[in-house]
Amino acid sequence: MYEGKIKTLICDNCGIKNSFKVNDIFAKESKLAFINAGIVFLIGTPILIYYLPIFILKYGGLYTSLGAGGLLLIPGFIYSNILKEDRIRVNTFNRGWT
């Protein structure tokens, strides 16, 4: 961020030019990233729950049950990773190039 610098931005929708001080421009968390993460979580979990009994019955055994149960962590891991990367992007932009 630079003190006193002014940036002129043009609105993509209406074409109006607006001038901002560079220090007044901030990034915010993406709603699209949140929606994508939610979709992965909401679709991935039921799919894994559907295939979990098939996997356990086919291969059987304690380790297979534990491994199949561990597969349920995958949608949650993807969900948290998408949101974490978006937070890192926002924090990096807002800190500036000092």
Q: Look at residues 74, 28, 85, 79 and name the one whose alpha carbon lies nearest to residue 47.
A: 74
Higher pLDDT, 75 or 98: 75
User: Per-residue pLDDT averaged across 80-96, rounded?
Assistant: 86
> pLDDT of 12-42, one tens digit each?
888 888 887 777 777 788 888 888 888 888 8
What residues does each domain of the chain span?
27-93
User: Per-residue pLDDT averaged across 43-67, rounded?
Assistant: 79
Is this structure's pTM higher than 0.85? no
- Give the pLDDT confidence score for residue 98 in this predicted structure: 47
Beta-strand pair 17-21/6-10: antiparallel
